[in-house]
Amino acid sequence: MASTSRPELDAVIIGAGWAGMYMLHRLRQIGLATRVYEAGDGVGGVWHWNRYPGARTDGEWMWYSYSFSPELEQEWSWSERFPAQPELERYANHVADRFELRRDIQLRTRVVGADFVEPERRWHVRTEHGEVVTASYLVAAVGALSAANVPDLKGLDAFRGACYHTSRWPREPVELAGRRVGVVGTGSSGVQCIPAIAREAAHLVAFQRTANFSVPAWNVPTDPAFEREYKASYAEHRRLQRESTIGVHWSHANLEQSALEVTTDERTATYEHAWRNGPFTLMNSYKDLSSDLRANETLSEFVRSKVREIVRDPAVAEVLVPTTHPIGTKRLCIDTGYYETFNRDNVTLVDLKSTPIEEVTERGVRTGTAEYELDVIVLATGFDAMTGALERIGLRGRSARSLSVKWAEGPRTYLGLATAGYPNLFILMGPGSPSVLGNNFEAIEQQVEWVSACIAFMRSTGAELIEATVDAEDGWVDHVHELADRTLFNLADTWFNGRNIPGKKGGFTPYAGGYRAYREECDEVAASGYRGFTLSPRPRDDPS
Ligand code: NA7
C-alpha cells in the first residue's frame, strides 16, 4: 500500500544541470508532478560547480546550447565562440526563469538514498535534511563528470595554505594575486586554469603526471553578422547536428579520406590549416585518426612539433610533449595560451613521472628532489567519471540491492538509460550511452525526449513499471565494449575507462558508435514497444 505519511510525487529528478532542468520541463509538459533535488545552491550542474579561473566550454555556442526552444535560441546571445563559466551559469539561470522551473527545484538538498520499495512499486527518496518523498519514476541526472577525484596525497590535510579542487571552486573570489600557487593535474581543467592563474599569481608550479595533447581554441568574441546569419537558419543547423556522429554539425569533417592516403606535405598542410581553424577540425581532418594507430601517429606527431615550436626552453618542451598515448584517446584539451604559459618567468613545470609527489607538507608540496613552498594548492585532478556520482547516491533496487554492489565489476546498463533490477529508474548521460563523446546538449536532449516519450507511453497504456531485462543489459554491455575495441580509446588511462581511479573496474564505458547510431537504436527500441524491457501493469488487486 502506498505510504500516506510522505509526499507522493510522480517523478523525482536528481540534479539541476542541463539534463535535470530539461527533464523537469518535459515531465511537466506530460503532466507529471515532479521535484528536482540539487545539492548545489544554484542551477547549472557542471557550470555551477566548475568556477575555477579560466573555466569555459570546449563546445561552440551554436551547438553547445539547448535546441528544444526556438524562442530561447533566438533571444539568447552568447558573447564568445567558447563561452566562459559565468556566462554559462547565467544561461542556466535564464533557462530556469524562462521556463519557470525554480518552483520545482529544491536547492541545497543532496539526495542521500533512494530505495525501490517493492510492495509499493515506488521509489522512496531520502535527502540530507531527513526528508523522504516517494515517486513512481526516478531520474538520475547527476552528470558524468561531477564526483570529484581528490587524490590520496600523503599529508594533504596538514597543508596550512588553501586547497581547492577545480570542481568545488568557491563562489567568493579566491585571492591569487601575489601568491604562490601549485596546480596538480594537467587535464582539461588544469590546461584551462594554469594560464589564467599564472597571469595573477606571483608564481605558479604546475605538477604534471602525464603530458596531454592540447590544441588552441582560437576563442573570439561573437561576430554579430555571423550570429544573425546562423540564427536565421538555426533549424537546419540543428537538424544536421542531430544527424551527425558527435552531435555537432561541421562542414569541414573529412569522413572519406585516410591520413595515410595522402603525401606528407599534403597532410601537413591539412593539419596546419586545421590547427588554425579550431580544435574540432583537427581530429576530423581524416576519417581514421581515431581508429588507426598509424594514421593517428601522423597527427600526434604534428601536435608534438607544435609544442616544441611554442615552448622556448627545449627541456621544458620535452616534458610537455605527450608520448604516452595517441592523440584523442584522452579527451583532447582545448586551451587559450597553455603551452605559451610555460615561457613565463613565474611558471615552473614539475615532471611527476621523474619525481613523484612524496607528500604535502605544512608549507607546500615535496617531491623526491625538492620542496615547493605554496600558499594555494589547486587540485585539477578530475573525476570519478561516468559512475561515481551515480554510485554515491545510494540507490537500492529490487531486494535492496545497492547499485554500487551491482556495478562492482563495472557498470551494467541497457542503452545507458536503465539497469536491470531498478524499475522506473532512468539514467541520463550514464555509462553505456554516448554522452561524453560529443556535444552534451545533443545527448541530453535526445535522452530526455526518449525518457519522457517512454513515460508518456507507459501512462497511456497502463504500464506501471518498466525494467531492463538482464539479457538485454548483457547484450548492451558487450556491444559497448565491442564498439570501444574498434577505436584507440583503450590505449590511454583515462576517465573514459576508469583507469584514472586506482582499482576502478569496468573498462571503457561510453557508447562509441556515435550519436546518430545510438539515437537510431533507442528509437527502434521504442518503436518495437520497448524491446529489451519488461513492462508490467498495475496488479488488479492493488488498492492504491
Ligand atoms: P582529467 O582529464 O581526468 O585530468 C586530471 C589530471 O589530474 C590529469 O592530468 C591526471 O594525471 C592528474 N592527476 C590525477 N590524480 C593525480 C595524482 N594523484 N597526482 C598527480 N596528478 C594526478 O580531469 P579534468 O578535470 O581536467 O577534465 C575532466 C573532463 O572535464 C574533461 O575531459 C572535459 O571533458 C571536461 P594522469 O593523466 O591521470 O596521469
All structural domains of the chain with their residue ranges:
8-147+385-537, 156-234+241-379
* Cβ atoms of 534 and 469 closer than 8 Å: yes
Task: Give the confidence band of 2 by pLDDT, cuts at 50, 70, 90.
Answer: very low
Q: What's the pLDDT score for residue 544?
A: 58
Q: Is 290 in the pocket of ligand 1 (CB under 6 A)?
A: no
The yes-or-no verdict on residue 1 having pLDDT over 50 is: no
**543 CA distance to ligand 1 middle (Å):** 52
**331-346 burial code (b ≥16 CB/10 A, e <16):** bbbbbbbbbbbbeeee
Q: Is the CB of 210 under 6 A from ligand 1?
A: yes
132-173 per-position pLDDT tens digit: 999 999 999 999 999 999 999 999 999 999 999 999 999 999
180-184 and 533-537 beta bridge pairing: unpaired
Instruction: Provide the grid cell at 514.
Output: 556515435
- Does any ligand 1 atom lie closer than 6 A to the CB of residue 378? no
User: Binning pLDDT at 50, 70 and 90, where does residue 543 land?
Assistant: low
- Ligand 1 mean position to 244 CA, how many Å? 28
Q: What is the Å distance from ligand 1's center to 190 Cα?
A: 8
**Which of these, 14, 10, 11, lies nearest to 140 by C-alpha position?**
14
Mutate which of 64, 149, 500 to test ligand 1's pocket (most atoms within 8 Å of Cβ)? 500
Query: Ligand 1: which of 188, 324, 332 to mutate, judged by most atoms within 8 Å of the beta carbon?
Result: 188
At residue 309, does pLDDT exceed 80?
A: yes
Ligand 1 pocket, mutate which of 49, 56, 189, 378 (most atoms under 8 A from CB)? 189
Residues pairing with 140 in the sheet: 14, 427
* Cell 504500464, located at residue: 463
d(CA 360, CA 161): 11
Summarised one tens digit per residue, pLDDT across range 268-301 is: 999 999 999 877 789 989 999 999 999 999 999 9
Residue 411 Cβ contacting ligand 1 at under 6 Å: no
**Once rounded to an integer, what is the mean pLDDT over residues 309-334?**
97
Ligand 1 binding pocket includes 435 (Cβ within 6 Å):
no
| pLDDT surpasses 90 at 100 | yes
pLDDT digits (tens, 9 = 90+) for 388-443: 999 999 999 999 999 999 999 999 999 999 999 999 999 999 999 999 999 999 99
Predicted confidence (pLDDT) per residue in 359-391, tens digit = 999 999 999 999 999 999 999 999 999 999 999
What share of residues in the chain are helix, strand, coil (percent, to 5)? Answer: 35, 20, 45
Of the pLDDT bands very low, low, confident and very high (cuts 50, 70, 90), residue 5 is: low
**CATH superfamily membership of 8-147+385-537:** FAD/NAD(P)-binding domain (3.50.50.60)
Query: What values do phi and psi take at 430, rounded to 5?
Result: -90, 180
Percent of the chain exceeding pLDDT 70 equals 98
- Predicted local confidence at residue 494, as pLDDT: 96
Q: What is the 3-state secondary structure (H, E, C) of 56-123?
A: ECCCCCCCCCCCCCHHHHHHCCCCECCCEHHHHHHHHHHHHHHCCCHHHEECCCCEEEEEEECCCCEE
Nearest alpha carbon, ligand 1 atom 36: 210
| Ligand 1 within 6 A of CB of 35 | no
Mapped onto helix, strand or coil, the DSSP state of residue 1 is: coil
